[in-house]
């Protein structure tokens, strides 16, 4: 993108503010994983225990900081189309499950940054990070995972587009069109 996606503005608010508002609609406590200096104005910030090791390190940091909480919803900052109803579904599914993770999968691709992780997932994450294995998806084969497949998502009435994210300037332009948005 050439710039920090968290601070891109969509209809007057940043993608970070979209993510925080969405999370607050379904979670009692919201923590931000990242640089304290950059994010502290937006809420409680947790820093990576394993800096520079990508999203798995962020999931680990979240679980590490909320050890007393059984379930953690992890969201990416660049998916403003996620509906609260879908996140409620993930959390309800988690509470009724013995799995370590509840994760959607579309077209063979997991959505690990729109997933619910049981606190025990930290063990698998820590082992992987210590071995410099930073990919999240392989861990889903090592733990009990409740995978929400595309057909189930569709049957619930949610389009695949809820997972649209912003990785390129073209993605950003498409997202702005979707939201009928402006930069400011």
CB 72 within 8 A of CB 116: yes
Q: Across residues 130-152, what is the average pLDDT? A: 97
Res 182 pLDDT > 60: no
Q: What is the pLDDT of residue 184?
A: 47
Q: Concatenated DSSP letters for 34-98?
A: S-HHHHGGGSEEE--SSTTSHHHHHHHHHHHHTTT-SEEEEE-TT-TT--HHHHHHHHHHHHT--
What is the C-alpha to C-alpha distance for residues 38 and 124, in angstroms, rounded to an integer?
29
Helix (H) or strand (E) holding 127, with range, is helix 121-130
pLDDT digits (tens, 9 = 90+) for 31-78: 999 999 999 999 999 999 999 999 999 999 999 998 789 999 999 999
The chain-wide mean pLDDT, for the chain, equals 92
Q: What ranges do the domains of the chain cover?
A: 5-166
What is the C-alpha to C-alpha distance for residues 36 and 32, in angstroms, rounded to an integer?
9
Q: How far is C-alpha 7 from the chain's CA centre?
A: 17
- pLDDT winner (highest mean) among 5-14, 60-69, 113-122: 113-122
DSSP 119: T
Could you tell me what percent of the chain has a pLDDT over 90?
A: 76
Beta carbons within 10 angstroms of residue 71's beta carbon: 19
User: 146 - beta bridge partners?
Assistant: 102
Q: Which CATH architecture has domain 5-166?
A: Alpha-Beta Complex (3.90)
Q: Residue 172 — very low, low, confident or very high, per pLDDT cuts 50/70/90?
A: confident
């Amino acid at each position: 993108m050439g710039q920090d996606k968290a601070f891109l503005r969509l209809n007057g608010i940043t993608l970070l503010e979209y993510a925080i508002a969405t999370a607050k609609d379904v979670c009692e406590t919201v923590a931000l994983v990242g640089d304290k200096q950059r994010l502290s104005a937006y809420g409680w910030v947790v820093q990576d225990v394993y800096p520079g090791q990508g999203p798995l390190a962020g999931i680990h940091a979240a679980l590490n900081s909320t050890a007393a909480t059984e379930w953690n919803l992890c969201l990416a900052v660049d998916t403003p189309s996620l509906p609260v109803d879908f996140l409620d579904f993930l959390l309800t599914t988690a509470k009724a499950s013995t799995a370590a993770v509840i994760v959607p999968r579309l077209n063979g691709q997991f959505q690990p940054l729109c997933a619910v992780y049981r606190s025990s997932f930290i063990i698998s994450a820590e082992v992987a990070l210590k071995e410099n294995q930073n990919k999240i998806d392989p861990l889903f084969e090592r733990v009990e995972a409740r995978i929400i497949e595309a057909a189930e998502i569709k049957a619930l009435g949610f389009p695949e587009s809820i997972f649209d994210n912003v990785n390129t300037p073209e993605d950003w332009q498409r997202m702005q069109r979707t939201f009928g948005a402006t930069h400011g």
